Amino acid sequence: MSQAKSENIPPQNTAQGENVVTVNYNGKSSVFPVLKGSMGDHVVDIRNLKKNLDLFTFDPGLGGTASCESKITYIDGDKGVLLYRGYPIAQLAEQSNFAEVSYLLLYGNLPTRQEYEVFVDRLNEHALLHEQIRNFFNGFRRDAHPMSILCGTVAGLSAFYPEGTDISNEASRDRSAINLIAKIPTLAAWAYKYSLGEPFVYPRSDYSYTENFLNMMFARPTEPYKVNPILSRALDRIFILHADHEQNASTSTVRLAGSTGAHPFACIAAGIAALWGPAHGGANEAVLKMLNAIGRKENIPSFIEKVKDKNSEVRLMGFGHRVYKNFDPRAQIMQSTCYEVLRELGVKKEPLLELAVELEERALKDDYFVERKLYPNVDFYSGIIFKAMGIPTSMFTVLFAVARTVGWVSQWKEAFDDPLRRIYRPRQHYTGPVERNMKTSYWL
Ligand code: ACO
């Protein structure tokens, strides 16, 4: 077969001319169209591979697979580009705020002033939790990891919003999205308060999204608390940097759970669970633990040797990325935010920052990291900022979850509007035993 035409593929997606990949296998030949996105790499549409050639693709970790079509976030890992709905991350971090970026991710365009105000009002209105949700917290040990509390309470929240299962209803999907973005900061801050044994602080409508979060985290009934505008702005920027990152592990988890038609709150709880791991959102917590373990600059060379030793399983946390192979644009903004926060807090000398800077410099000069294109990622500096703000290490990944919720719900919503939507059901490369017969069991 030599026609640039593929069976069963919608004609509007079918590439013409040379934009095909021909696969010859087992005496058969089949042509697969190459689809062009609006930017970036092209993709081979292999949906008919099994049908035409009785083959599946094998791609552990899915690093070479586009699992869906999306219009939300674009990354060029070689050039260090990150765009939300076409806007460069640096512009958004500098000129926007988290609520506006959330609107952009969720609805596709920056809001008008009126749309923005309505959106912020909706977030404020829904930040309050059902009073009975307070009881959830009492079921947890005081020393429970706040990610386990967040995961559990977000999933539990689905019981209060049974209409969320009506996913075929667009208005219901939108309500779920707003509820999640609005309520997760309250749950996150309460998880922290619970660990301290302090009273929960209720959300307030006169604060911005991030001011409100800081107030719920740090206000106490015994003394006045004033949100520091510089710190609030810095945290807001960190939230923007973490808001979405196309089909990463947690977002793919949310899409996968969502593809079954599960309740959106349960899907986001699944995303929170996936984010928790140290290879993903747990990296910021792991970076701080790593820096503390290194302790002093003199120990950096031996630590780097350990990282390079393939038998040690030690990784340089906050370094490396599946997609960025040049630099992570978020890491650069994070580093300058780190200096800004420390300056505001009057921290002249932060040993962990000095250690991190030295570690980064040495790693970037080392052939091991250069050859593998390993650069600092968004999490390398975020932990130092959080620590300076007085946020405990166990809360770092929780803050990431607060910020990423809008990305998750935007991707979850987009999946429902996709005419190609199907349940996620990958196949496998089976290498287990071939079919065999049982002998009579010994207990018979
Ligand atoms: N330290 C040391 N070596 C590393 C590191 C690291 N941080 N990251 C990758 N490598 C090495 C691997 O050992 C491998 O070497 P090899 O070719 O000799 O076997 C090579 O670089 C390629 O690594 P992979 O594991 O194939 O890269 P992958 O894309 O699967 O992993 C990941 C990406 C998980 C982010 C990885 O770089 C890592 O574990 N980094 C540390 C954890 C971290 O910072 N995670 C946060 C990511 S950003 C985010 O989720 C917000």
Following DSSP, what letter does each residue of 349-395 receive, concatenated?
Answer: --HHHHHHHHHHHHHHHSHHHHHTT--B-THHHHHHHHHHTT--GGG
Q: Of all protein residues, whose CA lies closest to atom 19 belonging to ligand 1?
A: 310
Give the rounded percent of residues in the chain with a pLDDT score beyond 90: 83
Condensed to tens digits (0 to 9), the pLDDT of residues 127-181 reads 999 999 999 999 999 999 999 999 999 999 999 999 888 988 999 999 999 999 9
Ligand 1 closest atom vs CA 372: 21
Residue 342 Cα, ligand 1 centroid: separation in angstroms?
29
Ligand 1 centre distance from Cα of residue 125 (Å): 41
* In the predicted structure, residue 367 carries a pLDDT above the cut 90: yes
**Residue 11: which pLDDT band, with cuts at 50, 70 and 90?**
very low
Lowest-pLDDT choice from 97-101, 220-224, 322-326: 322-326
Specify the residue with its C-alpha closest to ligand 1, atom 34: 279
Indicate which residues carry an active-site annotation. 321, 379
What type of residue is 122? R
pLDDT at 15 over 50: no
Alpha carbon distance 247, 194 (integer Å): 33
Least confident of 13-22, 87-96, 257-266, 399-408: 13-22
Ligand 1 in reach of 372 Cβ (< 6 A) = yes
The torsion of the CA quartet 419, 423, 424, 430, rounded to 10 degrees, works out to: -130
Residue 305 pLDDT > 50, yes or no?
yes
Radius of gyration of the chain from Cα atoms?
Answer: 24
For residue range 344-361, list pLDDT tens digits in order: 998 888 898 899 999 999
Residue nearest to atom 21 of ligand 1 (CA): 372
User: Using a 6 Å cutoff on CB, does residue 255 contact ligand 1?
Assistant: no
CA-nearest residue for atom 24, ligand 1, is 322
Ligand 1 and 378: CB distance under 6 A: yes
Separation CA 87–CA 101 (nearest Å): 10
Check pocket membership of 377 for ligand 1, CB cut-off 6 A: yes
Residue 12 has a pLDDT of: 41
CA–centroid distance, 438 to ligand 1, in Å, is: 43
96 band by pLDDT with thresholds 50, 70 and 90: very high
Ligand 1 pocket check for 319: Cβ under 6 Å:
yes
pLDDT at residue number 443 = 80
- Which atom of ligand 1 lies closest to the CA of 323? 29
Return the residue whose CA atom lies nearest to atom 9 of ligand 1: 320
**Whole-number pLDDT of residue 440:** 81
* Mean per-residue pLDDT over the chain, rounded: 93
179-196 pLDDT, tens digit per residue, is 999 999 999 999 999 999
For residue 16, the Cα-to-chain-centroid distance in whole angstroms is 36
CA distance 141 to 125: 30
User: Closest ligand 1 atom to the C-alpha of 318?
Assistant: 44
* pLDDT reading at 259 higher than 60: yes
**pLDDT tens per residue, range 273-304:** 999 999 988 888 899 999 999 999 999 999 99
Whether the CB of 413 sits within 6 Å of ligand 1: no
- The predicted model scores a pTM of 0.90
CA atoms of 160 and 337, how far apart (whole Å) = 38
432 by Cβ neighbours in 10 Å (0-12 / 13-18 / 19+) ranks as: exposed
| Integer Cα distance of 278 and 97 in angstroms | 28
Percent of the chain with pLDDT over 70: 96
Which of 251, 272, 315, 370 should be mutated for ligand 1, with most atoms under 8 A from CB? 315
Beta carbon of 373 within 6 Å of any ligand 1 atom = no
- Ligand 1 mutation target, pool 250, 316, 321, most atoms within 8 A of CB: 321
- The contacts of residue 427 (CB under 8 Å, 6+ apart) are 56
307 C-beta closer than 6 A to ligand 1: yes
Evaluate: CB of 400 within 6 angstroms of ligand 1: no
Whether the Cβ atoms of residue 412 and residue 258 lie closer than 8 Å to each other: yes
**What's the confidence (pLDDT) of residue 442?**
80
